[in-house]
């Protein structure tokens, strides 16, 4: 069963590449419009070896990792506070929803204005993108805890710390991990949007640079790198979820 999950997508990928190669050769599409897969992979490999692609990939990865880590912490803390303090929930939730509904590309210029063209503005945007699904999952999970469990621990005179460790944390951990799985791919989107709006380096910067130079090879190489990063991050999150939530 696991082999089929890997083989079928690979067969589809090979089929698409073959059709792409044959289509380009038959229709004589210019390389600056759409290069063949062979020429693209040759360029991608060369670009990788020179170190330019790796350097920009590393910048984007830093933004993703730092932003995701901070976003998870912010999301968990906010979700807990909003779920526990009714006044905070009434005050903060509308504001949080307004910020999250706003297109991230419209917020990117503000973050760049406030934090500059460096990594800080992209990390801030990633934190914003990552924290919301974590917060919502944490908030929802806490609200769904059976009141009978809470009352039982109250009868046993359990402290808030004991309730958190023995009931709230185990009950919400699954929801938090599900939020993390969704957030890691969104983190990449947040970082790239920030880089495309204004940056000195990164894969989003390369996309903008390739567009300005009308260089399809740079654009597609950046897209390939981003796709690989997104795929790896997602499956790493799935693996961590399976290892941590082994009882499921």
* Chain centroid offset of residue 176 CA: 14
Phi, psi of 34 (to 5 degrees): -155, 105
pLDDT at position 58, please? 92
Angle (CA) 198-102-122 rounded to 5° is: 30
| Residue 49 confidence (pLDDT) above 70 | yes
41: left (phi over 0), alpha (psi -120 to 50) or beta: alpha
| Residue 1 confidence (pLDDT) above 80 | no
What whole-number distance in Å separates Cα of residue 35 and Cα of residue 24?
A: 7
Mean per-residue pLDDT for 143-161?
72
118 versus 151: which is more confidently predicted?
118
The pTM (predicted TM-score) of the whole model is 0.81
Q: pLDDT tens-digit profile of 198-228? A: 878 888 889 998 888 888 888 888 889 998 8
Q: pLDDT tens-digit profile of 225-243? A: 998 888 888 888 888 777 7
* Chain centroid offset of residue 57 CA: 15
Helical residues (DSSP H) of 85-215, grouped into ranges: 86-101, 104-115, 119-143, 147-155, 160-163, 169-197, 203-212
What whole-number distance in Å separates Cα of residue 125 and Cα of residue 131?
A: 10
What whole-number distance in Å separates Cα of residue 47 and Cα of residue 226?
A: 15
Name the least confident of 36-40, 167-171, 190-194, 224-228.
Answer: 167-171
41 versus 245: which is more confidently predicted?
41
**Structure token digits, residue 163:** 């309730």
DSSP three-state, residue 118:
coil
To the nearest 10°, the Cα dihedral for 68, 72, 73, 79? 150
Mean per-residue pLDDT for 14-25?
81
Mean per-residue pLDDT for 20-31?
80
What whole-number distance in Å separates Cα of residue 156 and Cα of residue 138?
A: 25
- pLDDT grade for 5, boundaries at 50, 70 and 90: low
| Residue 137 confidence (pLDDT) above 70 | yes
Closest CA to 236 of 64, 106, 94: 64
pLDDT at position 4, please? 63
Q: What is the mean pLDDT of the chain?
A: 81
Mean per-residue pLDDT for 101-119?
80
- The CA–CA distances, whole Å, from 21 to 9, 31, 175, 224 equal 18, 12, 44, 17
pLDDT at position 246, please? 61
pLDDT at position 17, please? 81
Output helix, strand, coil percentages for the chain, rounded to the nearest 5: 85, 0, 15
Phi, psi of 47 (to 5 degrees): -65, -35
- pLDDT grade for 184, boundaries at 50, 70 and 90: confident
| Residue 244 confidence (pLDDT) above 80 | no
Q: pLDDT tens-digit profile of 77-102? A: 888 888 777 787 788 777 777 777 77
To the nearest 10°, the Cα dihedral for 241, 84, 123, 181? 20
pLDDT at position 247, please? 56
């Amino acid at each position: 069963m696991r082999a089929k999950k890997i083989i079928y997508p690979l067969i589809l990928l090979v089929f698409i590449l073959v059709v792409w190669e044959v289509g380009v050769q038959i229709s004589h599409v210019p390389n600056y419009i759409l290069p063949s897969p062979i020429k693209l992979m040759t360029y991608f490999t060369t670009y990788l070896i020179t170190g330019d692609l790796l350097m920009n990939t590393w910048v984007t990865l830093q933004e993703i990792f730092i932003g995701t880590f901070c976003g998870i912490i912010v999301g968990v803390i906010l979700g807990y506070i909003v779920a526990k303090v009714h006044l905070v929930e009434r005050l903060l939730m509308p504001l949080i929803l307004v910020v999250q509904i706003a297109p991230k590309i419209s917020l990117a210029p503000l973050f760049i204005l406030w934090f500059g063209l460096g990594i800080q503005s992209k990390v801030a945007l990633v934190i914003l993108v990552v924290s919301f699904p974590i917060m919502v999952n944490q908030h929802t999970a806490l609200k769904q805890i059976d009141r009978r469990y809470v009352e039982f621990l109250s009868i046993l005179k359990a402290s808030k710390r004991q309730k958190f460790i023995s009931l709230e944390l185990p009950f919400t951990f699954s929801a938090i991990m599900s939020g993390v799985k969704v957030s890691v791919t969104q983190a990449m989107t947040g970082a790239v949007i920030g880089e495309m709006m204004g940056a000195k380096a990164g894969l989003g910067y390369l996309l903008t640079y390739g567009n300005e130079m009308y260089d399809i090879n740079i654009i597609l190489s950046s897209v390939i790198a981003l796709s690989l990063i997104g795929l790896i991050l997602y499956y790493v999150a799935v693996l961590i979820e399976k290892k941590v939530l082994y009882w499921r």
